[in-house]
Amino acid sequence: MTIRRVAIIGLGLLGGSLSLALREKLPGIATTGYDRDPATRTRAAERGLVGTVYDTAGEAVSGCELVVLCVPVGAIGEAARDIADVLPSHAIVSDVGSSKRSVQKALAEALPSHTCVPAHPVAGTEQSGPDAGFATLFDGRWCILTPPDGAPQQAIDDLTALWQALGAKVEIMDAEHHDLVLAVTSHIPHLIAYTIVGTASDMEDVTRSEVIKYSAGGFRDFTRIAASDPVMWRDVFLNNRDAVLEMLGRFTEDLTALQRAIRSGDGETLHELFSRTRDIRRSIIDEGQDDASPDFGRDH
């Protein structure tokens, strides 16, 4: 199917970046948008994020071939129900949510007669809202599609072509596997950042001001991650509960082993782990996913 019109529901960091990338890289595609927050709609219109910002989701999706829900994962069901009665029957429905199993279920329940192909562009920043988006966010980054069993190949191909045209590399994955992999590579790192920054903020006033004053690289990086949107991340942990708890169990065991090594002066264990982890960093750099990537260590 030729995609001529894309509706973007949710005009924050991801919705805004998607619209700007479409405008810059696929100017032949018309865009419409809706956000449930009126102030965000106003700002999105001022920034010209989409061709037309509508006051209802129904108007925004009218006549489109593709809808992309760019809302927190806990709001996907509600956003899908909002458009269920008016969505053209041929339209493909997708999203950008950070977890996929619950999204797949929510979409199937809300839109049983439509073709739904969930997606997760693994690209972002700690910023949110209608001013946060930028057109190059997806350049060279992975976008993981998690089509349910029986999803039409044509829809998968159309969505793959669209994300590739926006600069992303596309991978197809089972939703369950996606959630396990992302739990360890993204969700738990965010949880650790929230925890360590929370621990520092619970310290007595004098020590806390010293933590801020003397924050070295490691802690500064954690504060960037821990500044990420609270609603978005609350929803990720509630919706990817099983995989996060599974990975957190393993992480806690490993942390306890390190605690034991430190207490017993077992330098060999510490050195062996720190050497292995250094190799992981080197392979990430070899694959070109280093600091030059848009979402690492840079403020937008």
Ligand X SMILES: NC(=O)C1=CN([C@@H]2O[C@H](COP(=O)(O)OP(=O)(O)OC[C@H]3O[C@@H](n4cnc5c(N)ncnc54)[C@H](O)[C@@H]3O)[C@@H](O)[C@H]2O)C=CC1
Ligand Y SMILES: O=C(O)C(=O)Cc1ccc(O)cc1
* Interface characters, 268-297, with ligand Y (x: CB under 6 A): ---------------------------x--
- CA angle, 244 then 227 then 68, to 5°: 65
CA proximity to 247, closest of 185, 176, 173 = 185
* Contacts (CB under 6 A) with ligand Y, residues 42-81: none
Q: Find out whether 69 and 95 touch, Cβ atoms under 8 Å.
A: yes
Q: Where on the phi/psi map is residue 160: left (φ > 0), alpha (ψ -120 to 50), or beta?
A: alpha
12 binds ligand X (CB under 6 A): yes
Other Cβ atoms within 10 Å of 73 Cβ, number: 26
- Give me the phi and psi of 232, to 5 degrees please: -55, -45
14 binds ligand X (CB under 6 A): yes
Integer CA distances (angstroms), 246 to 226, 241, 249, in order: 22, 9, 5
* Contacts (CB under 6 A) with ligand X, residues 46-85: 70-73, 75, 78-79
- Nearer CB in complex with ligand Y: 78/295: 295
- Nearer CB in complex with ligand X: 230/249: 230
Q: Find out whether 170 and 160 touch, Cβ atoms under 8 Å.
A: yes
**DSSP structural state of residue 36:** S
122 binds ligand Y (CB under 6 A): yes
Gap between the Cα atoms of 130 and 9, Å rounded? 12
Q: How far is the CB of 9 from ligand Y (least distance, A)?
A: 18
226 binds ligand X (CB under 6 A): no
Among the residue ranges 3-11, 46-54, 174-182, 276-284, the one whose residues contact ligand X (CB under 6 A): 3-11
When binding is defined by CB under 6 A, the residue of 7, 29, 35, 114 that contacts ligand X is: 35
Q: How far is the CB of 225 from ligand Y (least distance, A)?
A: 6
When binding is defined by CB under 6 A, the residue of 104, 128, 186, 240 that contacts ligand Y is: 186
Q: Binding residues for ligand Y, per CB under 6 A?
A: 98, 122-126, 186, 225, 295
